[in-house]
Amino acid sequence: MNPRLKNIRIKLAQERLDGLLLSSPANISYLINYQSRDSFLVITKDKEIYITDSRYTEEARLYLKGGIIIKKIDGSVFKTIAEVLGDLNLKRTGFEERYLPFADYRKIRDNLKRDMELIPVYGLVEVLRQIKDAEEISKIKKGLNITFKALHFIQDFIKPGKKEIEIAAEIERFIRYNGASGAAFEIIVASGPNSAFPHHITSQRKIKENEPVLIDMGVDYSGYKTDLTRTFFLGKINTLFKKVYRIVSHAQERALRLIKPGVALSRLDLSARQYITQKGYGGFFGHNLGHGVGLETHEAPQISGKETAKAMPGMVFTVEPGIYIPGRFGIRIEDMVLVTRKGVELLSGTFNK
């Protein structure tokens, strides 16, 4: 049996559910090892039913393995789901409250028999996805190799007079030619004062001499994402930029040295944040230290002061301290790490730091 499906069935028993209705593409893809789009999955104690429409039925028949039943949507998707749940006589079916819109929930509910319940559940699959297996780690590493190549390639393209959007377009073109299906998210190219916006929308602004260019990018490789940020500088680097860059770099190093199985993830955030605060820039570091990466660019666990989880072997997440000075510049150094049994593997190494 698929070990992922076996694990989710254990959770169904713990939650006293007869079945689970999944609508998150990432969660479905994880459980059936197939890149799901615009579809639903019903899991019971002994069956998996993949509910999709005519755009995907033939593809699903080709790629889905292990006896998964494919149900073609006939008319209303909500009636089809209700019919599947009814045919299976599922009295208590869990649904992903984070991903199923309330209006969709009501339409399914209205088509169910009176003695059937829809039970909201949260994070049943996401907690399993936190621990990557060897195949997942291999895909992430292959995606990172493409990311490294793209960042190396774009260095020669970053010149005064080039627009931020031109640089993003060149990166997008390069990663597709080199094996990625596309960018993991909208590529961020933030030049000069725009780099002080942590999630700047790449613009038509032309890059100027003697200013930083922050690039936050990742690729999608076989469904798995990468996420790296590097800050480049054109021309003469000024004293303040050097000072802030060293602070950000040292803050990241302090957090990286702490990573090992059993360490509280909140401690990593605290370590980097305290260091930046001690150097007088605490008010300029507003976001979390990092986040999990896998089938989604941002997934569990969160590397924040509020996170209650501890590091476990197989976790993949970012470590990305930053300092953003409004009107001047911003610096973020973002790397991806893998928690190992002995400690940590810096998946992105010292590339372009």
- Is residue 312 predicted with pLDDT exceeding 90? yes
Higher pLDDT, 74 or 343: 343
pLDDT at 352: 59
SS3 of residue 84 by DSSP:
helix
Over range 313-334, report the average pLDDT.
98
Tokens for 127? Answer: 């907690």
pLDDT band at 103 (very low <50, low <70, confident <90, very high): very high
Q: Does domain 134-346 have CATH number 3.40.190.10?
A: no
- Is residue 353 predicted with pLDDT exceeding 70? no
Residues 127-146 as b/e (b if ≥16 CB within 10 A, e otherwise) read ebbbebeeebbebbbbbbeb
What stretch(es) of the chain map to CATH 3.40.350.10? Answer: 3-129
Residues 55-79 as b/e (b if ≥16 CB within 10 A, e otherwise) read ebbeebeeebeeebebbebeeebbe
SS3 of residue 19 by DSSP:
strand
DSSP, residue by residue, 206-244: BP-SSEEEEEEE-EEETTEE--EEEEEEESPPPHHHHHH
8 A C-beta contact, residue 225 and residue 295: yes
Q: Rounded to an integer, what distance in angstroms lies between the CA atom of residue 347 and that of residue 337?
A: 5
Longest alpha-carbon distance in the chain:
72
8 A C-beta contact, residue 94 and residue 20: yes
Cα-only R_g, the chain: 23
- Return the closest-CA partner of residue 30 out of 127, 144, 141, 121: 127
**Taking the CB of residue 242, how many other CB atoms lie within 10 A of it?**
11
Q: Rounded to an integer, what distance in angstroms lies between the CA atom of residue 114 and that of residue 54?
A: 30
Q: Fold for domain 3-129?
A: Creatine Amidinohydrolase; Chain A, domain 1 (3.40.350)
Residues 6+ apart with CB under 8 A from 303: 265, 268, 269, 288, 289, 290, 291, 317, 318, 319
pLDDT at 349: 74
- Is residue 135 predicted with pLDDT exceeding 60? yes
- Return the closest-CA partner of residue 121 out of 28, 203, 17: 17
Q: Tell me the sheet residues that pair with 206.
A: 163
**In 93-238, which ranges are continuous DSSP H helix?**
102-110, 126-129, 134-155, 164-177
What confidence tens digit (pLDDT) does each residue in 250-292 have?
Answer: 999 999 999 999 999 999 999 999 999 999 999 999 999 999 9
Mean pLDDT of the chain: 96
Determine whether 252 is exposed, middle or buried from the number of CB atoms within 10 Å of its CB (0-12, 13-18, 19+). buried
What stretch(es) of the chain map to CATH 3.90.230.10? Answer: 134-346
Over range 49-57, report the average pLDDT.
97
8 A C-beta contact, residue 122 and residue 149: no
Tokens for 304? Answer: 């924040």
What confidence tens digit (pLDDT) does each residue in 183-230 have?
Answer: 999 999 999 999 999 999 999 999 999 999 999 999 999 999 999 999
**Residue whose pair of structure tokens reads 């590091």 in the numeric block:** 311
Pair type for strands 211-217 and 228-234: antiparallel
What confidence tens digit (pLDDT) does each residue in 136-152 have?
Answer: 999 999 999 999 999 99
- Is residue 89 predicted with pLDDT exceeding 60? yes
